[in-house]
Structure 1
Amino acid sequence: MPILPDPTEIPVVLKRLVKPPTLDFETALWEIFYLLFAPRRVYKQLYYRKQTKNRWSRDDPSFVILLVFFLTVSAVAWGLAYTSGAVAILRMVLYMVVIDFLATGFAIATVGWLLANRLFKKSSPATIGGVSDEELEWAFCFDIHCNSFLIIWVSLYLVQFVLLPVLTLDNWLSLFLGNTMYFGALSYYFVITFYGYNALPFLEHTEMILFPIPVVAALYLCSLFGFSMVKHMSSLYFN
């Protein structure tokens, strides 16, 4: 039975949040670059963090701040292009940042935390520097979601915005391009998530995290017969 996350972990991030000089945006930008082009390299830094700070999760909110900033800018751009009025734009920002990223992330991180502690944990926990790794931090599961969500932002909030006039044309090529973009973004989300949990030495059978990809692939193939994800999601956001 996993133990509830220790609330004493939270003030570490909050203290740095209100102290801008302690934020390390340079490292956060380095992580963003490598998550897009060499995600395994980012997770190799976990062992250094564990050895020096005795924690797997970030104690610096810079990465989350940058991602929230990127999402906010994207939401404003979507709002200016496809809605009218400040209220509609604010609603778009709240939906993309609070619902799409934070609320969904909290839910996914909680599910991942429960699964990791109940199903993936090795019977003989590993140790690093003499420190037992029997419990996975919930904050690290949220870090994994943030890392994985980066590709969602690039593909579905940035690239889709630029290509939307093409992706919404009434032809099969536009449908194919749009659905392929969604399939690629969702699949890569699960791959980056797998890398995160697989990097921990006290977890096993983490390849189960990749099981949703064949399901997504089957839905993707079915969608090519006439269901446009781009048009469907656009109608949800903009009626």
Structure 2
Amino acid sequence: MSAGSSAALAGHFAPSTLSYRDGHIGLVEVGEGPTIGYLHGMLGNPGVHPVLDELAATGHRVLAPSLPGFTGSSEAGGLRNLHDWVVAASEIIDIAGITGAPLVASSVGAMMALEVAAVRPEAFGPMVLIAPFGLWDDDDPVADPFGTTLSVQRAMLTEDTTVSAAFFDDPSDLPADMVVEHGVHRYLTRTSAAQLIWPLPEWGLAARLHRVSNPVTLVHGAKDRIIPSSYLARWSAALPNVVATHLVDDAGHQADFDQPAQIAQIAAAAFA
């Protein structure tokens, strides 16, 4: 991927870039006021993302970094295992300026937030976690979103498939030579997500959750086709400081895409 074409694609999605190791991370900034962080899920930060605007509308400055390999950031080179990912995520929250701030995190981002919080108590303030990966029950397993077609994966991620258009569809105003680049970014994002949770999204997090001391609000889409909604109760029982739980109607795995206004309302109450 050439530097020029990569920059043009990044410009289409309008993130800023911050130096990170030998590459960069993408950072989306929206709104004004006290800072809150947002750690994305499997869909990354694919440009148009209403939940960021909804969070900003609650009177906050929202900072949303992209994890390595996800849209807007350099490839996830050198991240060989969970330990490497946790160290990387810890570095990134410092670079992005969200250390110690309240956090909204979704899916794989919620799992990474918990891993960081377990070893670094000051990493975040109150957290709103949307359908985190990281627990596993053989009698009620988490579905594999990667052993299927792209169209089926799309239907698994959100209840309304149109809300993920910025990730799965090539924008109509994207120059022809950038369409391939969009596909590359989509491939790298899916590969990075798979590196975190495939073949089983269970890295022993349950044994570390007792160290997560900050207040946690749990959110789960009632129509999540990847992580059963029964996991809301499992997380509530496993975490030591759960202050509220919410089962969101008409929302799939990434409820932040399906119901962004409701997520923002939940976050505003959690961070008040």
Sort the TM-score into its range (normalised by shorter chain). under 0.3
Query: Of Structure 1 and Structure 2, which has the larger fraction of its residues in helix?
Result: 1
Q: Which has the higher strand share?
A: 2
Q: How does the TM-score come out when normalised to structure 2?
A: 0.25
TM-score, normalized by length of structure 1?
0.27
